[in-house]
Amino acid sequence: MSIDIPVISCKNVWKIFGPDPKKFLNNMSDDMTFEEIRAAGYISGVRDVSIDVNKGEMLVIMGLSGSGKSTLVRCFSRLHDVTGGTIAVEGQDIVSMSENDLIELRRSKMGMVFQSFGLLPHRTVLQNVAFPLEMRGQDKHTRRERALEVVKLVGLEGREDYFPRELSGGQQQRVGIARSLAIEPDIWFLDEPFSALDPLIRKEMQDEFLRLQQMLNKTIVFITHDFDEALRLADRIAIMKDGAVEQCDTPDQIVLHPATDYVRKFTEDIDKARVVHAGVLTQKGVVGEGDALDAMTTVHDMARMLVNDSREMIPVKNGDSLIGAMPRKDALDILLGSEKNEF
């Protein structure tokens, strides 16, 4: 990706909950653990996180419940004021941004889907979806048109005049999604946006977001507990524990080279063959023989060929150009589980 400045760039961000977090952070020694901080009466929601999110990228944040995912995303959108560190959105420092600029930034750039939907209880589906448009001062007719369009997109046609309490959990969640779709923001924060959806609609929604991201080059920060979902969507995955980011990398790297024991454990049960692509196993410059594989093929997809083939090195291409070759044994090791534990 050839983008100069990252869309979101955060450095050493801390978010501490408690009576006087700023003072506590200033006087705190750097190596205090989560438990020690808790013993002092504070909760470290986000601990010293530095991450860049690039334009057009989909960053997926994973981690156990209470690990600080929602808190981190709230820092990105400055729903929380950070306790320490800096966050810049498209080069603008948002930590010190004035209220008016912040409102302008949110109106023009950001959208968010909330974990528990955050629907306004006194407004109908249509009015909820049109709410951000209304706040921007769009005229009644245009915003109604647009709202109807996205309500249809999320499959809630015919329910436009219902109130949130008259809808099921999944339907409410779709209202939340529609509300953020309505404004097509450049930066999208999605906090477990599909958790209440049935598998069919969930897949549809995932496809919709992938389409938007690729077509319109949107930047998306996505929280989920579902690994399959993460693998389907993610350019990179960040894994959080006790407020800190343990590792932030591509899915292949995370399963192949876990940075910490925690990440290893976290990814233990994943079928690596479904994650790892040919491109990752390729040794550059080496020349193989015979037909070339596409770099995006997963080990799982080439399983039959791997077993039947007898080549040592299989050539790999990216698009039309050859980039190198993949040792068949490495791929087989991933498919069958290797003797060694490590690569």
Partner 1 sequence: MSSEIVKIPAGKGYYTDFQLAIAMVFIAIFMILLQYLGSLPAWLYRVPEEIIPNFAQWLDVIFNFVKDDLGVLVFTRFLTGGLEWLLDFSANVFFGKRRFPNVGPMPWTAVAAVAAVIGYYLGGWKLALLGGGTMVWTALIGQWKIAMQTMSVLTIAAPLAFAIGLSLGVAAWKYPWVDRVIKPILSVLQTLPFFTYLLPAVIFFKVGPTAGAVATTIYAIPPMILMTTLGLKKVSSEVIEAGKMSGCTRGQMLRHVYIPSARTEILVGVNQVIMLCLAMVVLTAFIGMPGLGAKLLAMMGSFKLGRSFEIGVTIVLLAVMLDRMSKAWVIKQPEHFERGTPLWKRHSMLLLGLAVFVGFTLLSLVIPFLAEVGRGQNFSQGKELDNIIKGFLNIEWVKVTTGFLRAFLNVQVLIPFRNFLLSIPTPGFILLVVAFALSIAGRKEAIFALIFFSLVALSGWWDRAIITLYSVISAVILAALIGLPVGIFAARSVKWSERVLLICDTAQTFPSFVYLIPAIMLFGITDIAVIFSILIFAMVPLTRYTIEGLRTVPQEMTEAADMSGATRIQKLWSVQLPLALPTMAVGFNQAIMFAFFMVIIAAFIGTQDLGQELQRTLAGTDLGKNFVLGICVSLMALTFDFTIMKWAADKKKMLGLA
Alpha carbon distance 343, 333 (integer Å): 9
- Supply the DSSP symbol for 40: T
Closest CA to 224 of 339, 73, 18, 79: 73
Q: Cβ 257 to partner 1, closest distance in Å?
A: 36
**Using rule CB under 5 A, residue 70 touches Mg ion:** yes
Please check whether residue 256 is in contact with residue 280, taking contact to mean a CB–CB distance below 8 angstroms. Answer: yes
Q: Which of 71, 247, 267, 282 binds ligand ATP (CB under 6 A)?
A: 71
Determine the interface stretch with ligand ATP among 60-68, 85-93, 116-124, 153-161 (rule: CB under 6 A): 60-68
Residues 22-51, mask of contacts with ligand ATP (x by CB under 6 A): ---------------------x-x------
Who's near 176: CB < 8 A, 6+ residues apart?
113, 114, 117, 118, 119, 193
Alpha carbon distance 167, 158 (integer Å): 12
Q: Which of 28, 53, 59, 63 binds ligand ATP (CB under 6 A)?
A: 63
Closest CA to 172 of 225, 131, 119: 119
Q: 122 contacts which partner out of ligand ATP, partner 1, Mg ion, none, CB within 5 to 8 A by kind? A: partner 1
Q: Which of 9, 67, 173, 180 binds ligand ATP (CB under 6 A)?
A: 67
Using CB under 8 A, which residues numbered 53 to 112 contact partner 1?
Answer: 74, 77, 79, 99, 103-104, 106-107, 110-112
Q: Tokens 């190198």 identify what position?
A: 324
Judged by beta carbon, residue 104 or residue 228, the one nearer partner 1 is: 104
Judged by beta carbon, residue 82 or residue 295, the one nearer Mg ion is: 82
Q: Cβ 114 to partner 1, closest distance in Å?
A: 5
Judged by beta carbon, residue 37 or residue 133, the one nearer partner 1 is: 133
Q: Cβ 147 to partner 1, closest distance in Å?
A: 13
Please check whether residue 151 is in contact with residue 123, taking contact to mean a CB–CB distance below 8 angstroms. Answer: no
Alpha carbon distance 280, 253 (integer Å): 8
**Using rule CB under 5 A, residue 173 touches Mg ion:** no
Helix (H) / strand (E) element for 201: namely: helix 199-216
In this structure, what are the phi and psi dihedrals at residue 28, rounded to the nearest 5 degrees? Answer: -85, 145
Q: How far is CA 162 from CA 158, 175, 176, 195, in A?
A: 9, 11, 14, 22
Determine the interface stretch with Mg ion among 12-20, 41-49, 114-122, 134-142 (rule: CB under 5 A): 114-122
Q: Which two tokens stand for residue 175?
A: 């209202």
Determine the interface stretch with ligand ATP among 58-66, 104-112, 199-207, 268-276 (rule: CB under 6 A): 58-66
Closest CA to 206 of 222, 189, 182: 222
**Using rule CB under 8 A, residue 121 touches partner 1:** yes
Q: Which of 6, 68, 85, 132 binds ligand ATP (CB under 6 A)?
A: 68
Using CB under 8 A, which residues numbered 207 to 236 contact partner 1?
Answer: none
Alpha carbon distance 131, 120 (integer Å): 9
**Using rule CB under 8 A, residue 161 touches partner 1:** yes
Q: Which two tokens stand for residue 299?
A: 């080990």
Please check whether residue 178 is in contact with residue 209, taking contact to mean a CB–CB distance below 8 angstroms. Answer: no
Judged by beta carbon, residue 71 or residue 213, the one nearer ligand ATP is: 71
Judged by beta carbon, residue 71 or residue 213, the one nearer Mg ion is: 71
Alpha carbon distance 15, 49 (integer Å): 9
How many of the chain's residues bind ligand ATP (CB under 6 A)? Answer: 12
Residues near ligand ATP (CB under 6 A) are 17, 43, 45, 63, 65-71, 115
Residues near partner 1 (CB under 8 A) are 74, 77, 79, 99, 103-104, 106-107, 110-112, 114-124, 131-132, 134-136, 158, 160-163, 165-166, 176, 179
